[in-house]
Amino acid sequence: MRIYFFSVLLLLLTSCGVARVNYDYDNQTDFTSYTTYNYFADMETGLSQLDEKRLMDALDATLGEKGFMFAEEPDIFINIKSSVFKSQQGNNVGVGLGGGGGNIGGGVSIGIPVGGPKLTRELQLDFVDSNKDMLIWQAISESPFREGDTPIEKQEKLQAVVTKIFSKYPPK
């Protein structure tokens, strides 16, 4: 049981460290005045229905911890966009051949890619003020993505990304 606990803890810690998050917000906004939220009805998240439910469950739990309540007429509407793309390969092995004699020299070198391309999931959350119909906060995260993950792994990774995203909300 201890091994399982430490394995899950290690997975969460490594997942949190890998996601990169960029933030942007309206610095004239008083974020303490917002207490209720809902999702846009016509959201096109780019996620499967199961992943969308996992993400929304993680968002609901995290927003609840931050003091938000789900409401039919909210202060904030949330929009979610997601996409998966292949990131560029960063590892190469260089092979070179050179020679020379006298005052003449020359060489040839090539780079051989190692490993395959990596999949990255970009997740964008937009907070829109429902009264002003204006974007007030945005977070865009990039994290590694693997299509063969189990449902539990997907849930843990999405929760870790959501936790990382809301680590700097509200902005100070």
Domain with 28 in it: what CATH number?
3.30.160.670
What range does the domain containing 48 cover?
16-99+108-168
pLDDT at 23: 94
Buried b (16+ CB within 10 A) or exposed e, 26-48: eeebeeeebeebebeeeeebbbe
Within a domain: residue 141? yes
Within a domain: residue 7? no
Are 142 and 162 spatial neighbours (Cβ–Cβ below 8 Å)? no
Within a domain: residue 91? yes
Task: Determine how β-strand 118-129 pairs with β-strand 76-87.
Answer: antiparallel
Within a domain: residue 127? yes
pLDDT tens-digit map of 21-57: 999 999 999 999 999 999 999 999 999 999 999 999 9
Residue 162 CB burial class (10 angstroms; 0-12, 13-18, ≥19): buried
Are 81 and 113 spatial neighbours (Cβ–Cβ below 8 Å)? no
- Whether pLDDT at 70 is above 90: yes
Average pLDDT over residues 78-102: 75
Which residue did the predictor score with more confidence, 91 or 139?
139
**In sequence order, what DSSP letters do the residues of 19-87 get, joined into one string?**
-EEEEEE-TT--GGG--EEEE-TT---SS-HHHHHHHHHHHHHHHHHTT-EE-SS-SEEEEEEEEEEEE
Within a domain: residue 9? no
CA distance 124 to 121: 10
SS3 9: helix
Tokens matching residue 143: 């994290």
Within a domain: residue 119? yes
Within a domain: residue 11? no
- Whether pLDDT at 60 is above 90: yes
pLDDT at 114: 62
Within a domain: residue 74? yes
Task: Determine how β-strand 36-39 pairs with β-strand 20-25.
Answer: unpaired
pLDDT tens-digit map of 105-155: 677 767 666 666 678 889 999 999 999 999 999 999 998 888 888 999 999
Q: What is the CB neighbour count within 10 angstroms for residue 145? A: 18
pLDDT at 15: 45
Number of domains in the chain: 1
Are 142 and 120 spatial neighbours (Cβ–Cβ below 8 Å)? yes
